[in-house]
Each structure stands twice: as C-alpha cells, then as structure tokens.
Amino acid sequence: MSTLLTMLDTFDDLPQARNLREHTYEALGDTVLDVGCGSGRAVGELAGRGVHAIGVDLDPAMIEVATERWPAGEFHVADVTALPLDDGSVTGYRADKVLHALAEPSQAVVEARRVLARNGRAVLIGQDWDTFVIDSDDPGLTREFVHARADGMPNPRVARRYRNLLLDNGFVDVTVDVRTIVWTDATVLPVLANIAGEGTWLDDQTARARNGRLFVAIPIFIASGTRAE
C-alpha cells in the first residue's frame, strides 16, 4: 500500500490538484460522503470547513491512515455499492478516482442516489485511463504502455460515461467539466513508473525531468448532478 499512498500523496499535494478538490466541494451541503476516500484528504478538508464529512474505503489500511491523519472526519471500511448509511442521510456525495475500479460502476451511482437527500448533489471525478498526454521520442511505445495499463482495470474509460451514468440513475441538471493536471518535473515519475515499469522508456522520461524537458498532462473529468425528487 505504501507505493499507492506515495502516489496519492504526490498527486494530492499538487497546487492543481488542490484547486480541483476545492472545485468539487462546491454546493455539497453540510453532510458529505466521500467514497473511495483513500488517505482521507478530502474528508479532512471538508471537516475543516465545518462539514460533517464521512469517508468510506474498502481498504482497512487506508482507513487506518485516514483516521490517524484526519481525526475530525468519520471513517468506515465499506463497499461503495453497499454503504453503511440510511436512505437520504447525506446532502453531498463525492466519488474521486474510484469508479474505474468497479466492474459495475452503475451500482455505485444507484447507491449514491439512495443515500442522498432530496435535491442532494453527486460529484464524480476521475480520469479516462486511455488519455495520458506524454511527450516521448517513441509515441508508439508510449501508447502501448498507456493502453496496457488501462486494460488492466475493470473500467478504465468510465469517466467518459459519467454524464450518462448520472442521467440513467435519476439525476438532473447534470453538468460535465474538465480540468487538466500538467507535470513538467520529476514529481510525476512514480506515476510513469506505475504505467511502464523500469526500463529505457522510463530512463528517457527521467532524463527529460532532469533536463527540464518533461511534459505529462492528464485531463480530469468532473460530472455533477442533483438527485431528482
């Protein structure tokens, strides 16, 4: 888990990622559920605003980290398709970088609608794992690495379906926004290593970072909607 936690922390610490999170907190109300909460950063930030923030994650080790880091939050080990919450008990629902890991992401959206109060707001955030923009001297090999990494996930392209998932499951006023995270330094190298592993390609990207010539961009999709009455 330490490698995953390091990558999450590296991403979450980016100013662009902080701005993205701030954007996703808008209009979620006073009781917010963050599913797939990981190390609990969003829960902690929301709790710091006076929100009753609840985080759930399937990984007990992540919940242990979250509880230690953000004691003001409420955390549970739970599946996002079977939440330990009553019907209509939250005003906001947030799923960040989680639906791609589900075989049936629509089940999570059905559950989101169940726990949301009338006129509650759901926000789905994540990347399309086929869409990494990486400057490379070997674009063909780069595409192979990106697609192979994507194909190892249950739903790597679910972000392009966020809008329809919300519409199909009783949400209205659905909107979609795209924010792009850009790296030009070595902080992205753990992400690239996760995609390609050790080897000549990663060595080239490391040299680019060292020489100030690295470029990686990842579009992040944000879809939101209101639970219909």
What does pTM read for this prediction? 0.94
With a cut of 60, say whether residue 1 has pLDDT above it.
Answer: no
Tell me the three-class secondary structure of 170-217, residue by residue. CEEEEEEEEEEEEECCHHHHHHHHHHHCCCHHHHHHHHHHHCCCCCEE
Percent of the chain with pLDDT over 90: 91
Q: Check residue 79 and give its pLDDT.
A: 96
Q: Check residue 11 and give its pLDDT.
A: 84
Contacts of range 144-152, beta carbons closer than 8 Å, 24 or more positions apart? 145/195, 145/196, 145/201, 146/195, 149/194, 149/195, 149/196
- Per-residue pLDDT of 184-229, as tens digits, reads 999 999 999 999 999 999 999 999 999 999 999 999 999 999 998 7
CA distances to 26, 60, 75, 197, 199 from 102, in Å: 26, 18, 20, 24, 30
Q: Check residue 14 and give its pLDDT.
A: 87
90-96 and 31-35 beta bridge pairing: parallel
Residue type, 148: A
Domains of the chain: 2-128+154-180+220-227 (3.40.50.150)
With a cut of 90, say whether residue 5 has pLDDT above it.
Answer: no
- Per-residue pLDDT of 22-63, as tens digits, reads 999 999 999 999 999 999 999 999 999 999 999 999 999 999
- Per-residue pLDDT of 86-118, as tens digits, reads 999 999 999 999 999 999 999 999 999 999 999
Distance CA 194, CA 53 (A): 31
- Per-residue pLDDT of 153-176, as tens digits, reads 999 999 999 999 999 999 999 999
Residues 6+ apart with CB under 8 A from 22: none
